Amino acid sequence: MKLVSFFRHGKDKMKLGRNDLCWCGSGKKYKTCHLGFDEKLASFRDAGHKVPPHKILKTRAQIEGIRESAKRNIAILDYVSEHIGPGISTQEIDDWVVMKTKEFGATAATLGYEGYPKSVCTSINDQVCHGIPSEEDILMEGDIVNVDCSTIFNGFVSDSSRMFMIGEVAPDAKKLVEDVHEAVRVGLRAVKPWTFLGDMGSAVNEFCKSKGYSVVEEIGGHGVGIEFHEEPWVSYVSKPGTEMLMVPGMCFTIEPMVNMGRREIFEDEENGWTIYTEDGSLSAQWEVQLVVTDDGYEVLAY
């Protein structure tokens, strides 16, 4: 029998014997902890599937740290939800996020991330994502807006986003917002260990297509928890049985960007960040962060 595995953060590949301590940090012997798990992973890899590296599988202690970060992330968005409305500028939303993040002893993951200038993303109507808060962008009755918040607390990263409807919005816009929320729940229901990210992605895509929408292909979700953006990259237009195998301890986002019209997008050339629908149609996105468990998933941030 092969008894070789690799220590988590070790630079050197080390042989792990049956009686050595498991790489996961449980304090148990390898043979009674992750040996069977590693053999199962190896069989998927041998069958040609993408399998997660150990380093992206969170330990119990790391999951607890991410949970604590996520609680703050949720509370920041709760604050936004209590105060957002017509006449509010997206800069004010950024100010709130800065204030609440500081109050919680946390930091915003977006601020300075690859040069991103603000602590939150605010994407209005035909903006697909990465809208940059500005004093000039005032929310008006009928707008739909995504507020995407990423929080670092005690070194652990949480990331979620919500849609807000400003005052009365048109029935089709409201339906888009609600349907995309449902699309995330459809994705969640497809998260099961030892199935594939493509099973989840295709469930999201099929649901959105059935409602007459299109899902953005170029931008997806991501692993998150220790770093802001980790492996895997997560598509919501993928095919069943493809993409990375989902296994317990994997932590990633479900955050489809869904357009009412065509799927094509373009980037704002001036700011180099904001993405718009090419046809000017509305776009909506909700984002949850989850960890895969032994029998499904746990939502960490929403």
Q: Which residues bind ligand MF3 (CB under 6 A)?
A: 110, 113, 116, 121, 130, 148, 150, 159, 222
Closest CA to 193 of 253, 248, 251: 248
Nearer residue to ligand MF3 within complex by CB, 72 or 130: 130
Q: Which residue is nearest to ligand MF3 (CB)?
A: 116
Tell me the backbone φ, ψ of residue 198, rounded to 5 degrees. Answer: -65, -30
CB of 113 or CB of 266, closer to ligand MF3: 113
Please say which residue, 109 or 246, places its beta carbon nearer to Co ion: 109
Determine whether 8 is exposed, middle or buried from the number of CB atoms within 10 Å of its CB (0-12, 13-18, 19+): middle
User: Least distance (Å) from ligand MF3 to the CB of residue 17?
Assistant: 39
Is 159 near Co ion (CB under 5 A)? yes
CB 32 within 8 A of CB 24: no
In terms of CB distance, is 110 or 127 closer to ligand MF3?
A: 110
Q: How far is the CB of 88 from ligand MF3 (least distance, A)?
A: 20
Instruction: Please say whether the beta carbons of 176 and 213 come within 8 A.
Output: yes
Q: Is the peptide bond prior to 86 cis by the omega test (within 30 degrees of 0)?
A: no
Among 158, 205, 253, 259, binds Co ion (CB under 5 A): 253
* Of the candidates 210, 200, 215, 180, the residue with the CA atom closest to the CA atom of residue 287: 180
Q: How far is the CB of 6 from ligand MF3 (least distance, A)?
A: 28
Beta carbon of residue 233, minimum distance to Co ion (angstroms, whole number): 11
Nearer CB in complex with Co ion: 151/253: 253
Task: State in angstroms the smallest separation of the CB of 275 from ligand MF3.
Answer: 10
The answer to whether the beta carbons of residues 3 and 14 sit under 8 Å apart is no
Region from 15-23, 57-65, 73-81, 252-260 binding Co ion, contact rule CB under 5 A: 252-260
Q: Are 237 and 217 in contact (CB under 8 A)?
A: yes
Q: Which does 127 bind (CB under 5 to 8 A by kind): Co ion, ligand MF3, none?
A: none
**Residue 276, both tokens:** 């718009």
Nearest Cα residue to 209 out of 258, 158, 269, 278: 258
- Report the interface residues with Co ion, using CB under 5 A: 159, 253
